[in-house]
Structure 1
């Protein structure tokens, strides 16, 4: 048995030649269905159709997404439930299975941890192939470098944005959503009232490189309404939204 973790960026248009070769050699792709009408599963299906590989769909276990008090425990429970669901399919089908990961498997995705667990249980070989990440796409679309000369860049999920700002971070890439489901834009709206933050610069993008792509750039205090409208357009065009943004302190 072999399990291959493959980064696919935002879909078929971002599949690298290395990942394409791995897909052609796989017996099937294993994917979770998050709801009855999962538009993101449709993108995975499109990847499978392009490379002639079967798709095995597993209902995704329910997860508490309302920012529970013990976030780590909630995520661990969800990971274990998903691992158990995948294990049943893998044990039955065997062969070479591929798991497709949005963006790159190294950045705010738990598939590598899940497969490491599965490989130990099933005595399977496994490997990881990289994909195009959201920060890469964000920088390319806005034609920027994510960090200033000789300075660091801090990457954080939206739910820890306030913590990053209060810790003195001045160049912040924000990924994943907050409780609002707006990738932290509600948190950003609140923080814009703090001294100085309204003067920070934001480079924002939704559905980067995919259907309904939207870009916004400007002074935080000026563009928050534009961000909300752009996000609505992205969702209307694609049926889903994935967004990320860079925040930089004014100098």
Structure 2
């Protein structure tokens, strides 16, 4: 099977976050894969479907959903669990492609944020190369960090200063990175900032960035940490899912802001 797979960054779900290049790649696809993550997260699949309806301008593309495999518990073997999960996702991709494009062709997948930043679509796609003649095209999109800093109207970095990008798991297990002044945190489902000594830390948090239900909270971590935890739980209960990220700095503006 000969496949051309386009991984298209879709930003945080707003149709304007997909570039013209991304829309063009979507329109070239014969098959668009839509992951379905269960009824409690049906809104995620619905969002991708609405983007396809808005951006695809012809009737030739097949839009096919597939059930997203669930990752096993990873308390003792995180990397192994993720590796097996990626194998299962690649198998789901291949099964869906085989049913709709048995002779191969052009396939597209919309990726949250950008395929290059804390997203595993590229690693999963490489598994297809073991069973197909595969060409991968990547169309960059708006990253969650771009959407976050835009929503708060702040710069990501201080003048001539670095930024460290990490995960909630790393922050929780290893603490504040040595010598870091600014830390961007992604993939944090447990609000790892609660494990830090809050004195002198400022946080900029955002969820559903760029969407109608966008949430933005910023201020000193000591004052706003509990507010973020409470608002995050409320929003997740309301929508059935949440995608959020945040930026921490050792120093920040004196003011506090809380906005929807």
Regarding TM over 0.5, the answer is yes
> Is 1:144–2:151 an aligned residue pair?
no
**Secondary structure of residue in 2 paired with 1:121:** coil
Tell me the residue number matched to 1:28: 31
Q: What is the aligned counterpart of 1:7 among 6, 9, 14? A: 9
C-alpha distance in structure 2 between counterparts of 1:229 and 1:212, whole Å: 16
Encode CA deviations 1:157-186: one digit per residue, 9 max, x unaligned: 111114250533221000112xxx34xx2x
List aligned pairs for 1:99-110, cutoff 5 A: 99-110=109-120
Tell me the residue number matched to 1:133: 143
Tell me the residue number matched to 1:190: 195
For the 8 Å contact 2:74–2:81, the answer to whether it is kept is no
Distance of aligned partners of 1:167 and 1:69 in 2 relative to their CA distance in 1, 3 Å threshold: farther
For the 8 Å contact 2:9–2:114, the answer to whether it is kept is yes
Tell me the residue number matched to 1:241: 242
Encode CA deviations 1:28-64: one digit per residue, 9 max, x unaligned: 2112211134221111111111123432111112212
**Range with bigger deviation, 40-49 or 54-63:** 54-63
Tell me the residue number matched to 1:199: 200
> Is 1:41–2:51 an aligned residue pair?
no
Distance of aligned partners of 1:28 and 1:51 in 2 relative to their CA distance in 1, 3 Å threshold: farther
* Number of equivalenced pairs: 240
C-alpha distance in structure 1 between counterparts of 2:130 and 2:5, whole Å: 12
More helix by share: 1
Q: What is the aligned counterpart of 1:167 among 156, 175, 178? A: 178
C-alpha distance in structure 2 between counterparts of 1:208 and 1:164, whole Å: 26
Distance of aligned partners of 1:100 and 1:167 in 2 relative to their CA distance in 1, 3 Å threshold: same
> Is 1:88–2:95 an aligned residue pair?
yes
Encode CA deviations 1:60-98: one digit per residue, 9 max, x unaligned: 12212x542111000000001111121122234122110
Measured on the aligned residues, the alpha-carbon RMSD in Å equals 1.8
For the 8 Å contact 1:105–1:111, the answer to whether it is kept is yes
**Secondary structure of residue in 1 paired with 2:123:** helix
> Is 1:61–2:69 an aligned residue pair?
yes
For the 8 Å contact 2:4–2:107, the answer to whether it is kept is yes
TM-score normalised by L of structure 2: 0.86
For the 8 Å contact 1:211–1:238, the answer to whether it is kept is no
Tell me the residue number matched to 1:71: 78
C-alpha distance in structure 1 between counterparts of 2:18 and 2:62, whole Å: 17
Encode CA deviations 1:118-141: one digit per residue, 9 max, x unaligned: 134210222100010000011111
TM-score normalised by L of structure 1: 0.89
Q: What is the aligned counterpart of 2:22 among 6, 19, 22? A: 19
> Is 1:112–2:113 an aligned residue pair?
no
Which ranges of structure 2 fall in alignment gaps of 5 or more residues? Answer: 253-260
Which ranges of structure 1 fall in alignment gaps of 5 or more residues? Answer: none
C-alpha distance in structure 2 between counterparts of 1:250 and 1:99, whole Å: 40
Q: 1:24: how far off?
A: 1.0
